[in-house]
Structure 1
Amino acid sequence: MGYFFSLYSSELPHRARAVYMYLHDRSDKDGKCYPAIGTIAKELKLSRSTVKRAIADLEKSGRLRKEKRWRENGGKSSNLYHLMQRDLG
């Protein structure tokens, strides 16, 4: 079977598949990464709102868990994304 077989055979929209593969490509061995929404949007040539919808799709499907991160001064930082282990190779 292919590496992303379960992703390809899922009912997820194309936007969610593209964002998942992007996050997977940038994740560490534990499936964690923290690119900014703007960075994902720019590199995939998608709008920020499309990326946000894709992330919501992935969370709803159970393939992704999002964790908010904060700077020491209380400002918001990029989210930490946890890819669920079932799709990690």
Structure 2
Amino acid sequence: MSLKIMSIGFESNLKPTAKLIYVAIADFANDDGECFPSQSKLAEKASVSISTMKYYLRAFENLGIIKTEQLYRNNGSKSSLLYKINIESKNLEKSKVEAAYQECRKSKEQKKSHNVTIPMNGQKKENKNLPKVTIQKSNCDGLESSYINHQSLDEEEVAKYFADFYSYLNSIGVVAKKSKQMHMNRIKANLLKGHKTTMQNFNDFQVARGIKQEKKIKGEK
């Protein structure tokens, strides 16, 4: 895990989904930005679908944000992909990443478009008179519904409330078991993606905060 690269991701202006994927890669990476997790592991850590993960990885690669290299086993068979994060990239911006992401989706959808008929002789023949049908993938740009709540915070809200919220979590026994920085980054990511338990704790925090402020106004201790 590279806290340095994770911080770059958190400080970027990427959309939450793209940011979570970038941070997930950084969470696996060493300080040189290198790691080789499977795409399913990355998708699980970022709490996104495999298809969304693949589109964003391709977008990151097209922009030079990451580089990939195929690794091979001793017997010559393919192993994992090696990911190398380019921390010097100037393309880690929301507009550039989203444009590249949409281009990757558009390219994939065009390949899946159907525009053929099957004549009696069994040979495929293009029929320009038939309408083109495009297959859309469901949940292509969202988080897994089984894992998230519809409620989440944006980056401005996280920055505004995080210090007090983290203190509240500590007061109810939610504390870092190892690295405090890693734990804080995980909580921030959970707030951005709407993790159910974290958002429930945040709602409880807001209630407790409201009661405290009300008592302060009334002059109670």
Q: TM-score, normalised by structure 2?
A: 0.34
Percent of residue pairs bearing the same amino acid type:
28
Are the equivalent residues in 2 in contact too, given 1:16–1:58 (CA < 8 A)? no
Q: Which protein has the bigger helix share?
A: 2
Is residue 54 of structure 1 aligned with residue 56 of structure 2? yes
Q: CA RMSD in A?
A: 2.3
Residue from 5, 8, 11 that aligns with 2:12: 8
Tell me how far apart the structure 2 counterparts of residues 67 and 37 of structure 1 sit (CA, whole Å).
14
Tell me the alpha carbon deviations over residues 20-48 of structure 1, each in whole angstroms, 9 at most, x when there is no partner. Answer: 11111221121101110011112222222
Per the alignment, in what secondary structure is the counterpart of residue 24 of structure 2?
helix
Residue from 19, 23, 39 that aligns with 2:21: 19
Per the alignment, in what secondary structure is the counterpart of residue 52 of structure 1?
helix
Q: TM-score, normalised by structure 1?
A: 0.75
Tell me how far apart the structure 2 counterparts of residues 7 and 68 of structure 1 sit (CA, whole Å).
30
| Bigger radius of gyration among the two | 2
* Change in CA separation of 1:70 and 1:9 when aligned onto 2, cut-off 3 Å: same
How far residue 59 of structure 1 moved from its aligned partner, in angstroms, is: 0.8
Per the alignment, in what secondary structure is the counterpart of residue 58 of structure 2?
helix
Are the equivalent residues in 2 in contact too, given 1:69–1:77 (CA < 8 A)? yes
Residue matched to 2:32: 30
How far residue 50 of structure 1 moved from its aligned partner, in angstroms, is: 1.4
Residue matched to 2:204: none
How far residue 17 of structure 1 moved from its aligned partner, in angstroms, is: 2.3
Tell me how far apart the structure 1 counterparts of residues 46 and 21 of structure 2 sit (CA, whole Å).
8
Report the residue type matching 2:46 in the other structure: L
Higher relative contact order (CA 8 A, sep 6+): 1
Tell me how far apart the structure 1 counterparts of residues 10 and 63 of structure 2 sit (CA, whole Å).
12
Are the equivalent residues in 1 in contact too, given 2:36–2:80 (CA < 8 A)? yes
Per the alignment, in what secondary structure is the counterpart of residue 78 of structure 1?
strand
